[in-house]
Amino acid sequence: MKKYWIISCYIVLAVLLLLLYPRIGKFQYEYQKGRPWVYETLISPIDFPILKSEAEMLREKEERASEMVDYYAYDPSVAPPVLERFGHKAVELQLDEELTRKLYEHLDEAYRRGIVSDFGGNEQSDKVVFIKRDKRADETPASEIYDLARVLNALKSDLAYEYPEMEVDSLVRQLDLPSFIVPNLFFDENTTQLVHREAVNYISPTKGMVYAGQLIVSEGETVTGEICEILDSYKEEYRLSYGYSGSQNALLISHLFLVLILLAVFFFAVFFLDRSVFSSMPKLLFLMMLLLISFAGVSILFRVDQRLLYLFPFAVIALYMSAFFRDDLSYAVYAVTILPLLIIPENGVELFFINMVGGSAVLYAYSRLSRGWLQFINIIILFVAMAVTCFVFKLGAGDFSYAFKATEFLYLGINALLSIVLYPFVYLFEKLFGFVSYSRLRDLSETTNKLLKNLQYKAPGTFQHSLQVANLAENAAREIGANAMLVRVGSLYHDIGKMENPMCFIENQAEGVNYHAGLTPEESARAIIKHVDDGLALAKKAKLPAIVTDFIACHHGRSVTLYFYNVYCNNGGDPANKAAFTYNGILPRTKEQVVVMMADAVEAASRTLKDYSEESISALVDRIMANRFDDSQLAEADISIRDINQVKKSFKTYLMQIYHARIAYPKRQKPTA
C-alpha cells in the first residue's frame, strides 16, 4: 500500500512539473567570448536582428539624456496690439514717416521670429530649439531667435547705421522703445520633458540584421565580441520563436524526460541518504512541495523576466530542509531542488552556482548563528557568498565593467534578505506537517525548562542519569550520522515518569532507605514499570511532540525487569510468569531510539562496575548490547550491524574517558624536628 501512494505522489508531481515547464526550446549551443567555437560551422537558418548590448543601450541613453532640446510655444496674439500701440505713439510724436516704417518693420520681423524673455546667456550658434506654431513644431536655430536685449540692441544698431546724425539714445527714450518689445515665445517645460523622456526611453534595440544563409561563426573560430553579440541575438530570436513551430511534440517529449530525470535524481538522493523518508508521507510530501516551489519559481520568473531569478530566495529552501532533516540529506536534496536552474534559463550554470554557493554558506552559518540578532548576520554572509560567485561569472564574460553591474547585485541583496525574513514560515510547516524543527528541539534540550527543572528537583539522581545518557547517546549518534539533537532531547526526557515516585528508583534513594523492603517482587516490578506510563502522561500534559514521547515509550521496549524477575524465580515463582515483570512499551524503530535504549542500559549498568578497566568496560557494553539482541528488542529497528558496532565503540570510548584512573595525591609529610 505504501508503495502505491509513493508512486501516486510521483505521478502527480511529474504532471505538475510538466504543466509548469515553459513551452520553449533551450538554446543548443554553449559559448563564451574569447573561447573557440567547438561546434560545427554555424550558418544562420533565419533572418534576425542584431541586438545592442546592455552597455550600448545604456551609453545611448546617457548620450540622449545630455542632448535635451527645448520646446517653445509661440503666442500670435502678442504682436498686433503692441505694434498698433507703437503706431499711435509714432503719430503722437510726429516721427518721420520713413523712420516710423523702418522701426515698425524691425519690430514686426522680431515678433515673427519670436522673442523670448531671456536665454539665460546660454544661447549658442549651433543650438537648435523647436517652436510650436499652429499645432506644428518647427526646428529653428537658436541664433534666429531674439531675446529682449538683443531686439533693442539690433534696433539701436540699425538706427545708428542708417541715421548717423541722429541721437539714437534720445529717440529710444522719447519713444520708450523697450515698452514695445514684449516676449511672444514661452518655454514649454511639459513638452520638453515629455519629448526628452521619449527620446531616452525609446532607443532602437537593434543595430543591424543577419540574413538566412549568412555565416555566423566557423568551427574552431575564436568567439570575438562581435560574434558573441550575433550569437546572443540568434539565441534571443530562437527563444522567442521556438515552441510556436511544428516541433511542439518533440519539445513536450524532451520536457517529459527531463522532468522524469529530475524526479529520479530526487528519488535516489533521498533513497541513499535517508530512506526512512519514504515511510513517512508528511516528510516525502514536504520535500516534494519544496521541489515544486523551486520549479514553479524558476518557470514563472523565466517567463516574466530572467533577471528576476537573481531575486528568488532559493537559500530559504535549504533552511527549511535543515530545520527538519539531517544536514547531508538537506544539502543533497537542496542541490536537486535548484537543478531546474540548469535546464530552464539560458544562464542556468551561473544561477545554479550562485544559489548552490549561497545555500552552502547559509546552511553552515545558520547552524551557528541562529539565535537572537545573530541570525541577521546570515543576511550578510549569504549576500557576500552569492555576490562573489556572481562577480566571478560576470568577470569571466570578458567585460570588466559589466562585472560591477548594480541590478543583479541589488537583486541578490533582496534575495539574501528574503531568505532570512521568510525563515519563520518553518513554524507554519511544523504545524501543517506535524514536524519538530531543530529550533524546537534545541529549546526542549535546555535544562531550564519547567519539566526538566521539576525532574531535577524531585528526582536529582534520575536527572543526573538522564544527563549522562544524553551525553553518551549524543556522541554515539554523531558517529553513525543520526539526529544528535533529537537523541539528546529523547535522552533527557526518557525517564521523566520517575519523578512521580522517585524513591522507587535506587539512584534517588538516600543511604539506608529501601523503598522495596516489604514489597513482593511483583509489586516492585509493577512500581518500576509504571514510570513509563507516568512519563507518557506527563509528556501529554506538557504537550511534548510525539517524536519525543516515543523515546519514553520505547526506551525499555518489551524487556523484563530482570532483577525482580530473578528474585521471583529464586523464591519459587513460576519462570513462565514473565508478563508481570515485562514492560508494555513499544520496540524501537529508528536509529535514534535504538541509541537511547542502549545508552540508558549501558549507563545504568556502568554504575555497578567495581573495576573500570578497559576490559571490564568493553565486556559490559558487549554484554548489554548482546542481551538486547537476544531478547529481540531490536527486531523492528532500522539500524545496520555496522552502525551498532560504531555505537558500541563510541560507548566504550566515552565510558573510558569518564571512569579514567585518578592519580593518588601523596600526603604531605610533617617536617622532622
Condensed to tens digits (0 to 9), the pLDDT of residues 546-560 reads: 889 999 999 888 888
pLDDT surpasses 60 at 412: yes
| Distance in angstroms (rounded) separating the CA atoms of residues 582 and 118 | 107
Cell digits of residue 175:
519713444
pLDDT surpasses 60 at 122: no
pLDDT digits (tens, 9 = 90+) for 273-282: 888 788 888 8
**374: Cα within 13 Å, side-chain hemisphere:** 8
Cβ contact 233:217 at 8 Å: no
**617: Cα within 13 Å, side-chain hemisphere:** 19
**74: Cα within 13 Å, side-chain hemisphere:** 21
pLDDT band at 13 (very low <50, low <70, confident <90, very high): very high
pLDDT surpasses 80 at 663: no
Most confident of 121-125, 209-213, 527-531: 527-531
pLDDT band at 223 (very low <50, low <70, confident <90, very high): confident
Query: SS3 helix, strand, coil % of the chain, rounded to 5?
Result: 65, 5, 30
Annotate 361-382 with DSSP letters as a single string: HHHHHHTTS-SGGGGGHHHHHH
Position 123: which residue type?
E
pLDDT digits (tens, 9 = 90+) for 473-501: 999 998 888 888 899 999 999 999 999 88
pLDDT value of residue 287: 94
Q: What DSSP character marks residue 672? A: P
pLDDT digits (tens, 9 = 90+) for 643-654: 888 988 998 888
Is residue 333 packed enough to be buried (19+ CB in 10 Å), middle (13-18) or exposed (0-12)? buried
Q: Which of 158-167, 296-305, 382-391, 517-526 has the lowest mean pLDDT?
A: 158-167
Biggest CA–CA distance in the chain, Å, is: 156
* Mean pLDDT for the stretch of residues 324-351: 89
pLDDT digits (tens, 9 = 90+) for 269-320: 999 988 878 888 888 999 999 999 999 999 999 888 888 899 999 999 999 9
Cβ contact 93:176 at 8 Å: no
Annotate 17-69 with DSSP letters as a single string: HHHHS-SSPPP-----TTSB--SSPEE-SS-EEEEPPHHHHHHHHHHHHT---
**130: Cα within 13 Å, side-chain hemisphere:** 17
pLDDT over 90 for what percent of the chain? 21
Cβ contact 465:507 at 8 Å: yes
pLDDT band at 266 (very low <50, low <70, confident <90, very high): very high
pLDDT value of residue 121: 46
pLDDT value of residue 664: 55
pLDDT value of residue 243: 44
* N- to C-terminal Cα separation, the chain: 92
Residue bearing the bigger pLDDT, 195 or 447? 447
* Mean pLDDT for the stretch of residues 433-443: 83
Spell out the domains of the chain, with CATH numbers in brackets: 2-23+247-417 (no CATH), 76-127+140-186 (no CATH), 438-658 (1.10.3210)
pLDDT value of residue 310: 92
Residue 352 is inside which H or E element, if any?
helix 348-366
| Distance in angstroms (rounded) separating the CA atoms of residues 119 and 187 | 10
Q: Which of 86-90, 156-160, 267-271, 511-515 has the lowest mean pLDDT?
A: 511-515
pLDDT value of residue 340: 94
Most confident of 49-53, 62-66, 98-102, 259-263: 259-263
Cβ contact 361:382 at 8 Å: yes
Is residue 650 packed enough to be buried (19+ CB in 10 Å), middle (13-18) or exposed (0-12)? buried
pLDDT over 70 for what percent of the chain? 90
Identify the CA nearest to 207 among candidates 188, 226, 220, 183: 226
Cβ contact 308:670 at 8 Å: no
Describe the crossing of helices 614-630 and 641-658 by its angle, rounded to 10 degrees: 140
pLDDT value of residue 536: 92
Identify the CA nearest to 538 among candidates 497, 504, 566: 497
Annotate 150-185 with DSSP letters as a single string: HHHHHHHHHHHHH-TTS-HHHHHHHHTGGGG----E
Residue bearing the bigger pLDDT, 472 or 165? 472
Cell digits of residue 506:
535506587
Residue bearing the bigger pLDDT, 366 or 530? 530
| Distance in angstroms (rounded) separating the CA atoms of residues 312 and 415 | 6
Task: Enumerate the H helices of 448-545 as residue ranges.
Answer: 450-458, 460-479, 484-493, 521-541
Residue 547 is inside which H or E element, if any?
helix 546-554
Cβ contact 130:69 at 8 Å: yes
Describe the crossing of helices 591-606 and 641-658 by its angle, rounded to 10 degrees: 30
What is the chain's Cα-based Rg?
A: 44
Q: What is the mean pLDDT of the chain?
A: 83
Residue bearing the bigger pLDDT, 319 or 509? 319
pLDDT value of residue 632: 81
pLDDT surpasses 50 at 521: yes
**From the CB of residue 555, how many other CB atoms can be counted at a distance below 10 Å?**
27
Sheet holding 136-141, edge to edge: 136-141, 128-133, 71-74, 185-187
**From the CB of residue 346, how many other CB atoms can be counted at a distance below 10 Å?**
17
* Mean pLDDT for the stretch of residues 369-381: 77
